[in-house]
Structure 1
Amino acid sequence: MPGGAATPGGGVASGGGAVPGGAVPGGATPGGATPGGGEAPLAGTTESKYTEVGRQGVAQVTAKGSYRWNASDPTVVFPINIWAGWGPIIAANDGFAAGSPGSVFKKYGFKVELKLIDDPSAAANAYASGEAHTLWGTLDMIALFAPQLKKVGLTPKVFQQIDWSQGGDGVVVRRGIRNVKDLAGKTIALCQNSPSHYYILRLLADQGISDKSVRFRFTQTAFGASALFAQDRTVHACVSWAPDIYTLTDPEKNPGGGARLLSTTADAANVIADVWAARPDFARDHPEVIEGLVRGIFEGVDILAKNPDKVAALMAQGYGFPVEECKGMLGDAYPTGLGDNVRFFLTDVEQNKVNFVGTWNSAVEVYRRYGAISQAVPAGEVLDSSVIAKLQKEGAFKHQKAQAREFQPLAVDLSSVEAGEDDVLRVPKRIRFKPNKWDLDPKYDEKIPQVLAEIKELCQRYSGARIIIEGNVDTSRKNEIRRLGQRQFAIMSQAVQELSEKRAQAVRKALLKAMPKEDPNRFYAFGNGWDNPIDLLDHSKNRRVDVRVIRVE
């Protein structure tokens, strides 16, 4: 989701050396040449200049104070950033101003002032100082800020999910990078300590690649990252936001540019969750206001669904953007109603790895490995599901169902399935099958439940993507059978092909049993026979399944 980075100022040159005076403006060099070979830069990025910065920790929270509240004119100061996901609260409040004529919050006994604070560090300090009653953020960003806020006694309490980013964030790569695995050894531009940072760290972790195997070049903003990528051909990828991720890869706007989308949150649809949190003292003192905010925002979900053009106009007034641009922004996020919030807050993490606890733990995991978090705040200290549970119990907003996805049957031959550039991830998963068997037997391989759980988690996280399961076999006897003659080899090759297909189908069947609400059309299984070994010395490593996460255009 768009928003600034949680970093202070300062900077380094792209090569890593210290620079007098701090940050370094980037862009085309004098005379029109561009770094990385003199090719013309890509066009159409939101920002034409970029500023590189060195690796930095999360910005310090510098202020602490009591919140302000006037009982005779109760007004919630609710900061937001420029992002489509805030459409429901903008709709519910009938704009940004406190006391807007059509605000639904009036019936709950208070006003709401939506205050535009695009910098998350500034938003955190407004929250800590008492200037604001709430804090905006993606859940991964709040996981980064929570340790500092806890130190000053202001551990945020998250009451509601606003949206999933579903198309607003993405990874753009140069020609020749086919999947996440190909990023190893490459240079990636991004805004650190932001949703972009979490997104790429999560992708790398899911592919089994260490962040140390790539080179990050950090910019002060995500749009700066796309400008750096556009102008410097030595940068192989960037993590940025719409519209830049689509402009850079548009063949009409950048003919011959060679950039393509590797992944967006349209496929990684349960990675970046936008939420809002309240100060713990304010939530304790005014539970009725917290409940009114949650209810009002759910009403805003309905208003947005019924009249998106009106909401886009309200967003345009507050953001200072053209109305048509705001209409386009609305497609970048999926607003989460009560059904989605029930699934996010109230489901068991063992069954739903992309619920609140699962998403929080995922952010802590990748940021701890990266070195950005040392002492994490447990999810249970931040999560407050009381209002969501109350609304579910009373049967409110029953029409707001949890998101369900449908997939068209995959009509494609195996050769094109194997060749595609739409792979996001290709993850080998080792499953020990009995010789010439395809049933999943935990007694034979005790790790099977764990492997299936790992595949299920990938399926949940990349809920907008198609899942292809490839079955493979032990290749140790291939040459021995070939020596028996062409006819015998053909017979055995067919048998091995069928065995690999049955193994892939066994995994597909197990996944559908574990996720009964998933559309079966999403999962496609086939066998490679002997044709896809990954180790010619240790043939037992070839007895496996490969799980591929495929973008759906």
Structure 2
Amino acid sequence: MTSRLTPFSKFLMTLAILAGIFFLGRYVLNNTSFGKGLKEKSQEVGSNNSNPTRDEESSGPLSKEAINVGVVTWGGYIGGQYFNEGFKANSQSRFLKEYGFPVEFKILDDVPVSREAWKKDAVNLLWCTIDALPTEIAGLADYDPVVVFQADWSRGGDAIVVRRGINSVADLKGKKIAVAEMTPSHSFLLWMLEAGGLKASDVEIIKQGSAIDAAQVFKSQQVDAAVVWSPDDVACLKDVPGARILESTRSASNIIADAFIAKRAWLEKNQEKVQKLYQGWMIGAAEINASETNKKKAAKILAEGLTGFSEEDALGAINNVRLCTHGDNLNFFGLNADYKGVSAEQLYSRMTSLYKGLGYAEGKIPSWRTIFYSDAIKSATALTGTEHAGEGQKVFTKANENEAKTKEAIATKHVSISFRTGEFLLDENSKYIIDKEFVEIAKGFSNSRIRIEGNTDNVGSEASNILLSKKRAQSVVDYLVNTHKMSRNRFVVIGNGPNKSIATNDTEEGRAKNRRTDFELIGE
């Protein structure tokens, strides 16, 4: 008769089997190539689990406590996203580690949806552009919006693409142009037309819902030109034979200013947090501007946060903007008395006038001073050093006059400046005309070279008129350099005398039109 095993005997046998399995497994791991491979794989998995992705580190509680920032698919907000170590509220965020509060970025590409989200407090800070703000500020009046700070300037992110045969702004007259109305694209087009001496009524606007839609219409060859975003500009050139970029914000460098608005009541309740948010954002922007390594890290963060973006796409998006520093904000918002470039107040006021005249800015448009909240910028006194300095002027080399004289102008604006017979010095009225008709354009297109051409009628000898016209053009340049602090090397001075008439010299009216100064934007 066979005896039955006792419970204790079963326990001992189980223990022996487990011990055997343990030692066999240990032997395999330590003494065979298969086991060593498994061991290395296990260590990699453990390492990955101990360093979760930014998305995995985000948590519900952090998101609920976060300052929510509404943005669009754009590279110009990366200063804050970089400092935040991602788009989501996460435990690695420097905002959280250094200032004690989380931040979350929400992508809201649909403009009406983004505005509704802001009204309902789904986002606290909302993207805008100072140039297009006059078209919507009256509609937001019930929420008392104020501008908090500037994030970037568009520097190549916006472009005007044109079909074959269009080589200048003058060639756009009577043409169909696809553009998203009351957006930065629209602002850029209006500036471009004015620089070329045209009005909005001189072209046929084909209204689009977005810059992406404008690109599609251009690629289908339904229009002659379109205002698009990068990288759609490259796609347009690829899909439409003979198409070219007429101008981009790489040259029209101080027109589209990305900024953030917030409700005044929310700002007053969160004043200290907003000051720290601004400070951290500016530190992030300065670090990216100063280091290619940091820029590559920023591109990785941007690619992770934007749908369909590779790191290469993200790097291109960052390179298509000027990430604004604290010094740039001091300049733009009129807090540096020595700054001579485009200011927020000038840009806002100019575009208010333009959009009102075209019927796009309706209702009561508040003055700039009532909608600018300066506390965050003024509080950042610790942001010193060259990395936080404002952007300097572009350095122009002296142009070869013969080459520059024949280079085709992208835009030409004819301005009548009166001189006494035989004289070339500017009087006060002439200076006023230059200020009114051209200075803001020169500042807006601050990366463009400018050709100043003096012209006369045919009264007198040709040789003396050529000499006189060049002296008059030089007087204009001297004024722009001495009063508005523009780079002398930026200008090309030409004296045409009577040889570039735009009207007949047989009448006084025609001769008056020929006695003019031409302001021309030309390529490098």
| 1:220 alignment partner in structure 2 | 209
SS of alignment partner, residue 534 of structure 1? coil
Q: 1:526 aligns with which of 474, 479, 494?
A: 494
| 1:311 alignment partner in structure 2 | 298
**Residues 95 and 277 of structure 2 are in contact (CA less than 8 Å); yes or no, is this contact kept in structure 1?**
no
Q: 1:424 aligns with which of 397, 410, 416?
A: 410
SS of alignment partner, residue 428 of structure 1? strand
Does 2:513 correspond to 1:544?
no
Larger Rg, first or second structure (1 or 2) = 2
Mapping for residues 86-485 of structure 1, pairs under 5 Å: 86-150=77-141, 152=142, 154-232=143-221, 234-249=222-237, 253=238, 257-305=241-289, 306=291, 307-320=294-307, 321-346=309-334, 352=340, 354-375=342-363, 376-392=365-381, 396=384, 399-404=387-392, 405-413=394-402, 416-421=403-408, 423-442=409-428, 446-475=429-458, 477=459
The superposition leaves residues 71-130 of structure 1 with CA deviations (integer Å, 9 ceiling, x where unpaired) of 997410111111010110110100011134142343222110111111121111111011
SS of alignment partner, residue 387 of structure 2? coil
SS of alignment partner, residue 87 of structure 2? coil
Structure 2: which 5+ residue stretches go unaligned? Answer: 1-60
Question: Structure 2 CA distance, aligned partners of 1:351 and 1:290?
Answer: 25
Flag as ranges the 4+ runs of structure 1 deviating above 4 A: 70-73, 347-353
| 1:482 alignment partner in structure 2 | none
Give 1:349 shift: 10
Number of residue pairs aligned between Structure 1 and Structure 2: 454
Paired letter, 1:454? E
Q: How large is the Cα RMSD of the aligned pairs? A: 2.3
**Residues 136 and 275 of structure 1 are in contact (CA less than 8 Å); yes or no, is this contact kept in structure 2?**
yes
**Residues 93 and 112 of structure 1 are in contact (CA less than 8 Å); yes or no, is this contact kept in structure 2?**
yes
Question: Structure 1 CA distance, aligned partners of 2:386 and 2:147?
Answer: 22
Question: Structure 1 CA distance, aligned partners of 2:63 and 2:297?
Answer: 31
Give 1:333 shift: 0.5
Alpha-carbon spacing, 1:334–1:514, altered in 2? closer, same or farther (3 Å): same
The superposition leaves residues 463-506 of structure 1 with CA deviations (integer Å, 9 ceiling, x where unpaired) of 0100110011132x26xxxxxxxxxxxxx322221111111111
Paired letter, 1:330? I
| 2:41 alignment partner in structure 1 | none
| 1:16 alignment partner in structure 2 | none
Paired letter, 1:368? K
**Residues 192 and 218 of structure 1 are in contact (CA less than 8 Å); yes or no, is this contact kept in structure 2?**
yes
**Residues 95 and 102 of structure 2 are in contact (CA less than 8 Å); yes or no, is this contact kept in structure 1?**
no
Question: Structure 1 CA distance, aligned partners of 2:63 and 2:177?
Answer: 52
Question: Structure 2 CA distance, aligned partners of 1:458 and 1:298?
Answer: 28
Question: Structure 1 CA distance, aligned partners of 2:63 and 2:518?
Answer: 63
Structure 1: which 5+ residue stretches go unaligned? Answer: 1-69, 479-491
> More helix by proportion, 1 or 2?
2
Question: Structure 2 CA distance, aligned partners of 1:71 and 1:458?
Answer: 46
Question: Structure 2 CA distance, aligned partners of 1:380 and 1:222?
Answer: 31
Give 1:457 shift: 1.5
Question: Structure 1 CA distance, aligned partners of 2:269 and 2:473?
Answer: 56
Give 1:203 shift: 2.0
Alpha-carbon spacing, 1:72–1:364, altered in 2? closer, same or farther (3 Å): closer
Alpha-carbon spacing, 1:344–1:546, altered in 2? closer, same or farther (3 Å): same
**Residues 286 and 387 of structure 2 are in contact (CA less than 8 Å); yes or no, is this contact kept in structure 1?**
no
SS of alignment partner, residue 399 of structure 1? helix
Tell me the TM-score normalised to structure 2 length: 0.82
Tell me the TM-score normalised to structure 1 length: 0.78
Mapping for residues 45-56 of structure 1, pairs under 5 Å: none
Question: Structure 1 CA distance, aligned partners of 2:489 and 2:390?
Answer: 19
Question: Structure 1 CA distance, aligned partners of 2:284 and 2:446?
Answer: 25
